Amino acid sequence: MIVGTAGHIDHGKTALLQALTGQAGDRRREERERGMTIDLGYLYAALEPGAALTGFIDVPGHERFTHNMLAGAQGIDLALLVVAADDGVMPQTREHLAIVELLGVPRALIAITKCDRVEPSRVQAVREQIATLLAPGPYAGAPQIALSNTTGEGIETLRQALLDAQENVLQRSAHGGFRLAIDRAFSVAGAGIVVTGTALSGQVSVGDTLLFGPQGKPVRVRGLHAQNQAADSATAGQRVALNLSAERLALEQIHRGHWLLAEWLYAPTQRLDIDMQLLASEPKPFEHFQPVHVHLGTQDVTGRVALLEGASLAPGERMFAQILLNAPVQAVKGDPLILRDQSAQRTLGGGRVLDPFAPSRQRRSAERLAQLQALTTTTNLEDVLPALLINSDIGLDPQQLERQFNRLRGTWNLPDDVRLIDTRQGQRLFSTLRWETQKARLVEHLARFHELEPDQMGPDRGRLRRFTGTALDRATFISLLDELLASGVITASGPWLHLPGHQVRLSEEDEALWQHLQPLFEQAGFDPPWVRDLGGNEVAVRLLLRKMARLGQVHQVVRDLFYTDAMLRRLATMLLQLAAQNEVIQVTAFRDAVGLGRKRSIQILEYFDRIGLTRRFGDKRHVRLDSALARQTEP
């Protein structure tokens, strides 16, 4: 069990721990000189002979060091709220209580200290004051123990209450990837760098490789202590000290707030969707995009909060919100966080992470809010997954889900109505209904394209994606298309996509223009005129010939030079006859056969190379007998 103190400055937190454990804790020189706790202190003690070691975290009570208190409050199992009988409830008592409530610390005990200095009536008044303070929150009715650090009165009663709590402490799950928020780092002679923190999930063993810090530097665990005892492994819920080694790892690189993580869990993010609560004690509403300090794990990061359900949040109310951070953090669903004001002087509220990979677009849409609502109702991936998918057109990234829920894919039991789609960029999860709806919508858009552009065979993949206005990434869109092509719902003619029954149609104007041009091509034979020499409107002529090229009635050999399909097949026949005689086709032989100049002959041969009729080797060519044109053309 990990116990964390909370309470106002000079209410006897450090002295109480010394009375309980017989240890002074790791008080620094400046703390002894000033008579106050500035940074975190750690103690380990058995509350009775033979009992397991209990970890105690002594936090500072001064308001200027609340950020240190927040670093120590993460991951504790029980809050020991200390209230001095002579002072009663003070400002930091209220703030520390609000913090442990927002962090979701499961249990609390109340120690009323300095009872030897006051009359019993004063102790009773303080009891009533504390009961009133606790009444609206989760610790209503929590045990209150009056004691004195000086005389020892009540210490044994508190010790027994802690032992009873230790019997019923909620065990943290050892499943999932290992996560540790670093609160201290130091160097030990003969061992090297050691970091400490509370293991928030998973387990770690000597020899494991973890990723450290914002850059994800690999480090190896050389040795470890769990609950202040040498061990081969440690698990979630324990205070852990890890002896780390890595190439060029220096103590000055390690700071409070850095994370140590299982390799697969490393995923820095700067955008979090949360379920936010504003403290009822706040004097005014919280405004959209207000700057804040965000405390997550042992990290303190600045950022802004975008409210997702309104322009402001009233004191005591909750709302979905998105935090835009100025530095990366590591988070999983369910992580508690605390929000303090821009000057870091006052705790505003807090919340729990719902999605550490929050979207930058459509964050206030009805579908997104429905996803966030589903995420608040359960911690089980299988239970929430259908609601997430049915409200997503773009599907979900399985790797992000692994990191969001801290569960590897091999442990999932996917519902029947979920599909795992393979794309060129990896796999993607979709609701079967949504995936089929996407396919139907794509077919509808293609039919609409044919209505708007009847003279075109169809769009290519990129143009169709733009035309549909889909939010799917390119890789997923291609997978969607591939399914439709494989089923025959959509057909491809070269790069052009179209419905199976679609035929390109020429307008009356186009038909009339082609009737004028066709004799010119027939008269020219193997040497058709360039577009500029066909007369009339050059732009209209060029557009018509390109349209007919998509119909397969003409072929564009080079820019603005077109051959009719019949003429190109005659040239292909002559080419095949040359190949039958000599096997290898020379430019000079083809030039002499068609009666054209060398330049034009090369242009035609290069076109045949492009469409796959011939393959070039140096200045020679071989016919590719497996080409469609070779099979269709009689030599």
Span 246-280, pLDDT tens digits: 998 999 999 989 999 999 999 999 999 999 999 99
305: tokens are 């909060």
Query: Residue 484 pLDDT > 60, yes or no?
Result: yes
User: Does domain 2-167 fall into CATH 3.40.50.300?
Assistant: yes
Q: Which residues of 387-408 are buried (b: 16+ CB within 10 A; e: fewer)?
A: bbbbbbbbbbbbeebbbbbbbe
Distance CA 548, CA 94 (A): 80
Distance CA 222, CA 216 (A): 18
Q: What is the pTM of this model?
A: 0.79
Which residues touch 356 (CB under 8 Å, ≥6 apart)?
Answer: 267, 269, 272, 329, 330, 331, 332, 333, 335, 403, 404
Q: Do domains 179-265 and 434-498 have the same CATH topology?
A: no
Of 21-30, 422-431, 560-569, which gets the smallest average pLDDT? 21-30
Of 159-163, 288-292, 409-413, 625-629, which gets the smallest average pLDDT? 625-629
DSSP for residue 446: H
Tens of pLDDT, residue by residue over 133-153, are 999 999 999 999 999 999 999
Contact 2, 234 (CB under 8 A): no
Q: What pLDDT is stored for residue 22 in this prediction?
A: 83
Q: What's the average model confidence in pLDDT over 90-100?
A: 91
CA dist 338 to 59, 346, 502, 614, Å?
16, 11, 60, 70
Distance CA 602, CA 558 (A): 11
Mean pLDDT of the chain: 90
**Four-way CATH pick for 510-632: 3.20.20.70, 1.10.357.10, 3.90.1170.30, 1.10.10.10:** 1.10.10.10
CATH T-level topology, domain 434-498: Arc Repressor Mutant, subunit A (1.10.10)
Query: Residue 29 pLDDT > 70, yes or no?
Result: no
Query: Residue 33 pLDDT > 50, yes or no?
Result: no
Tens of pLDDT, residue by residue over 165-190, are 988 876 676 789 999 999 889 999 98
Tens of pLDDT, residue by residue over 293-318, are 999 998 999 999 999 999 999 999 99
628 or 117, which is more confident = 117
Q: What's the average model confidence in pLDDT over 43-56?
A: 84
Instruction: List strands edge to edge, sheet with 620-623.
Output: 585-586, 620-623, 614-617
Going by their DSSP bridges, the two strands 259-262 and 179-188 should be labelled as antiparallel
| Confidence label for 68 from pLDDT (cuts 50, 70 and 90) | low
Task: For residue 493, list its beta bridge partners.
Answer: 496
Considering 11-25, 364-378, 443-457, 507-521, the range whose residues carry the highest mean pLDDT is 364-378
Angle, helices 598-611/587-594, rounded to nearest 10 degrees: 110
Distance CA 142, CA 119 (A): 23
Q: In terms of CATH, what superfamily is 179-265?
A: Translation factors (2.40.30.10)
Q: Which residues of 308-337 are buried (b: 16+ CB within 10 A; e: fewer)?
A: beeeebeeebebbbbbebeebbbbbbebbb
Any idea how long the chain is? 635
Contact 387, 366 (CB under 8 A): no
Q: What pLDDT is stored for residue 216 in this prediction?
A: 93
| Confidence label for 344 from pLDDT (cuts 50, 70 and 90) | confident
475: tokens are 């890789």
DSSP for residue 169: P
Contact 243, 222 (CB under 8 A): yes
| Confidence label for 633 from pLDDT (cuts 50, 70 and 90) | low
Q: Quick one: which of 325, 324, 179, 196 has its CA closest to 256?
A: 196
Contact 474, 463 (CB under 8 A): no
* Domain residue limits, the chain: 2-167, 179-265, 434-498, 510-632
